[in-house]
Amino acid sequence: MAQAMLGTMKVHKLASSVFIGATGILSKGDFKSLDGTDLANTALEYAAGEPNNANNAEDCLAMNEVGALEDVSCSRLLPYFCRKESTKKCRVTHVKSLCKNHGYQWESHTGSCYKFHGAAKTWRLALATCHSEGGHLAIINNEIESKLLKKIYKEHVENIDGAKESRHALIGFRRWDDGEWATIHGESLVNAGFSQWSPSEPNNSGGEKCGSIHDNGLLNDAPCDEPFAFICEISP
Ligand code: MMA
Ligand code: CA
């Protein structure tokens, strides 16, 4: 993988480092890959003097031109590579093993697996937590999925801990800077396939730009900086 990345960097003459899919956002200094692998136990090659957590502000990992790693600020603007498993069969196998490793529940009706996180977090940390497990904040694509999440909600409502309140849980959509509501993958709610707000929502109560699901399975706008339970999804 690193060899292929280095080759591409040379072809495209990238002068700087590139972000790789690992961060220590959730726990400082504990770098984890996006599928939840703890990098402490792997043979990583760091550049000399790295990781140095400069200014106590370096929670992301980047790879330099010779393939060595360094910790960098997550706010830097750097190039990055994406990777997607190529065949459907390969993706499904990969997903099922991730689901197993991280305690997700497989649902044949939607072909995804889900995890209800009762330990409350703010929307951004919820987003990072789902990523660290190889998933994403749940996205509702149809009514079947809305009903399914309502059921999962009911099963776990008693486990909610530290939430500002427990009648809704964060999921993967928000109001972006252009004022439009869209999923974390950039699709409008209508294009994603489900746009049914709970009665009298969105009400922007006290300023609400982040997406959540009410315990009735319908959409709500929620405050981004208050802790709530949240639902992650891993999909092929
Ligand atoms: C209520 C309601 C919502 C609001 C949340 C904030 C449970 O729902 O007023 O519109 O977003 O509270 O927690
Ligand atoms: Ca609301």
Residue type, 152: I
Residue 96 near ligand 1, beta carbon < 6 Å:
no
Q: What is the pLDDT of residue 131?
A: 93
Q: Is the CB of 233 under 6 A from ligand 1?
A: no
**CA 202–ligand 1 middle distance (angstroms):** 9
Chain CA centroid to CA 136, Å: 4
Q: What is the Cα–Cα distance from 4 to 160, expressed in whole angstroms?
A: 44
Length of the chain: 236
Residues 6+ positions from 104 with CB-CB distance below 8 Å: 98, 113, 114, 115, 133, 135, 232, 234
- CATH of 88-234, picked from 3.20.20.220, 3.10.100.10, 3.40.50.300, 2.130.10.30, is 3.10.100.10
The CATH H-level superfamily of 2-72 is Mannose-Binding Protein A, subunit A (3.10.100.10)
Query: Atom 8 (ligand 1): residue with closest C-alpha?
Result: 167
Residues of the chain with CATH 3.10.100.10: 2-72, 88-234
Residue tagged 């550049």 (tokens): 47
User: In tens digits, what is the pLDDT along the chain, a chain of 236 residues?
Assistant: 677 777 777 666 666 899 998 888 888 888 988 878 888 777 778 999 999 999 999 999 999 988 899 999 999 999 888 887 778 888 888 888 889 999 999 999 999 999 999 999 999 999 999 999 999 999 999 999 999 999 999 999 999 999 999 999 999 999 998 899 999 999 999 999 999 999 999 999 999 999 999 999 999 999 999 999 999 999 98
